Structure 1
């Protein structure tokens, strides 16, 4: 355990210390999480799990346990730091809300990471990010068991096994969409300024939500950013044109009446980054079928249109299935057939009908691609 890593977790830690003091501080910091580590003799082993553009993820394992115990996220820029704080607050709120005797909200047997430190009050206004407590423990959460969906896809034995994985994924997404943590939870893809400055708890349907998102958050950003892209040469100009065309398709959805009827008009709780890698899977001991063992990365979650999640999920299914099929040496045509089939399996298990075109996720992809690119921060 290095001093540099310890200071990334707790910037208040002094720069001149002995190895013994470092070890003692680590134990105090991690043991403060709760009773799980109290009175447990042994030591912590911390290793790098993955390194990305925005953060480095460490896994902390205590010698008294077989499985890794904690995940430590070390952010590398202001955007990722803000995202981690947002995730910490939302996880704490969901856990506090689900355990409150006065609440009828529950996680429906889905497990989410528990952040280190006090949970956020179930009466807190999560849209007011400026009031968040930016303390170091926001970087530490419990480590859940299971393997992420991308790795699980690679471990599938055949197409039937992949179908089992996708059906488990769809069932979990449907459960997430049934969550209702209360009116203090923010809306999907609306930035903190909007959520805290306006009464947005009155959206009656998804059409109102989409219109507000486009007018207050995305539309004002798209033209300036597309113009900047276009100045970066041919590649940038092509990308800018694609985003403007995508924007045009999404805006036209407001005039398509059948797109906003029935279940499609319902505001639901959405994950916000609904990809296979953000769901953990394991095998059922008896049936060997896949089941979801945990849900990760809920920092972008909020109330909105479920179809944003469905488009994101379908993209991930195609991408991750494609990688797995590459390992099996499948040809392009064969891959496309199975990827499309798995998308339909997901929809079938979820129980969602697609407006206009009952065979593809095209309209959902417009949602996902546009909203993913023009995210919270510049």
Structure 2
């Protein structure tokens, strides 16, 4: 039995549930939009692994029946109103509930896509860059600084071909620096900023599911293709193949973080060099699957299914990606 923890207002969770239905894989949905009021999760440690039950509106699931877990935590805006909780305590109640669930998922002896521990690197891009380099992938020339003069020197060193973005896991729009931005460099004294050399070429989004690699090449004139429309540009996507050593490095990177599924952002320059920007532990794969037909959700379902499950060969399951009626939003609305 696969346990899905997420909200159906999230298009990625919606697609994954639809894919499980399509493949005929048994699952239970712990809808985080109504947790904890409509669900009860109770467990204890009587040995090396937790034992307990999850009670839904009309079902009960023993933790020992779970073969794998897919989780997409949600914010307050995706949760139903808590009528019996004072307004000032709502955020605390939701945080406590999801943190408690996360603690349970950390110790379940089954594949979890993805555990909190594997997701922590996304909160520090400098640390994540070190892991990327250790995996064998290149990274762009980068400066992290709160020194205006250092930022100016980096800009001049790269002849103005520089982008800037946030250091943390908070989503930011990647932007090109322009000469006018030099007048604002004094602001970095209040907040360190990440500057990188702008690399020409195509963006490539890689989704790894275990050792399976799905690569999507994006053709777009926008610096940040996720916001192409806002920048007056378009983006086109198509499946692509990676060099074997690049694909292997992506798998190593995801495995090092313990990620069952990962979204890895690469850039392929005109001379065929590959550079990695970051790895996303909660990727919005629905958008890419919709536009390329790559069976990402089916591969993930297979990874979380019990090895004793009835049905055809896993390779046959990956080929059975029927048309599922799910409207995928633009990637700027997903992680």
TM-score band, normalised by shorter chain:
under 0.3
Is the strand fraction higher in 1 or 2? Answer: 2
Q: TM-score, normalised by structure 1?
A: 0.25
Q: TM-score, normalised by structure 2?
A: 0.27
